[in-house]
A and B are shown apart, each in its own frame.
Chain A
Amino acid sequence: MVTLTHYLVLAAVVFCIGLAGVLTRRNAIMVLVGLEMMLNAGNINLVAFWRYLGSQAMSGQMFAIFAIAVAGAEAAVGLALLIAVYRHFRNVSVEEISSLKG
């Protein structure tokens, strides 16, 4: 029997995979990819709670829909920023882009 906890554990594991991607990759695009994975983990949690905590309310699903919309906007702006950064530095490695460092 698959319970709510199964989904929450899956979401926790996915979140930490995304976090590891954000922390270990040097390419800024891969950092954004890790970010998207973490957002997806949050969506799994929202939908699982909606499904298992009952009471015909639909806030869980609506929150997930809005989260997906915000994630889409974030991805578009983030990748546009990366392209602008690449045009300036000819590089998207998060270690090379350090002009703001004192």
Chain B
Amino acid sequence: MDYVFYILAIWIVGSGLLAILQRNLVHCAVALIAFFAGIAGIFFSLHAEFLGAIQVVVYVGAIAVLILFAIMLTRHVTGEEEVSPFSRHAIWGWIASAAVLCVLLYSLDKQMFAISAEPSQITMLDIGNAMMQRYAVPFEVISLLLTAALVGAVVIALEEPRERK
């Protein structure tokens, strides 16, 4: 089963780099869809099937389409960006993220985790029960937050009337 992880890792890193590096924004969005699908695969390989399905529905389905819509509303449909991510003033961004990567890998190298012999496994039934019992309050709060955010998004994006009569 090991090769599944390596294939997914190469897939994710490759599509993530494509999404970051391409100049054409629509191509970036397509690479981003592949990236999100790869993350869903990682969730499946970790036996978090519910999360994998959620990832496909929310990210691959909704957020990717939202980003595509935003690209098409703010640019011409096949809009090219005028500045390449390889330009001179972007170098500090690359240096900073490489430094963060070095720090993360160094701290991972130093760390030992108490791995349990028995990998956790929960079913969708457990998640449903937890949502309605132990996590009932956070569940309601998150639904309120989502409602407020969506209403706010509509209000912000709505064109203000030119003249009120």
B1-42 residues at the A interface, CB under 8 angstroms = 1-2, 5, 9, 12-13, 16-17, 19-20, 25, 28-29, 32, 35-36, 39, 42
| Contact residues on A (Cβ < 8 Å of other chain), bracket | 35 or more
Q: Does B77 have its Cβ within 8 Å of any Cβ on chain A? A: no
**CB of A48 to closest CB in B, whole Å:** 6
Q: Is the CB of A70 within 8 A of B142?
A: yes
Q: How many A-B residue pairs have CB under 8 A?
A: 225
Which residues from chain A contact B108 at a C-beta distance below 8 Å?
5, 8-9, 12
Q: Is the CB of A81 within 8 A of B16?
A: no
| Contact residues on B (Cβ < 8 Å of other chain), bracket | 35 or more
Q: List 23 A-B contacts (CB under 8 A).
A: A12-B105, A12-B108, A16-B97, A17-B13, A17-B20, A23-B92, A24-B93, A25-B85, A29-B67, A30-B20, A50-B120, A51-B120, A54-B118, A58-B120, A58-B122, A61-B50, A61-B51, A61-B127, A65-B54, A66-B142, A79-B67, A80-B154, A92-B74
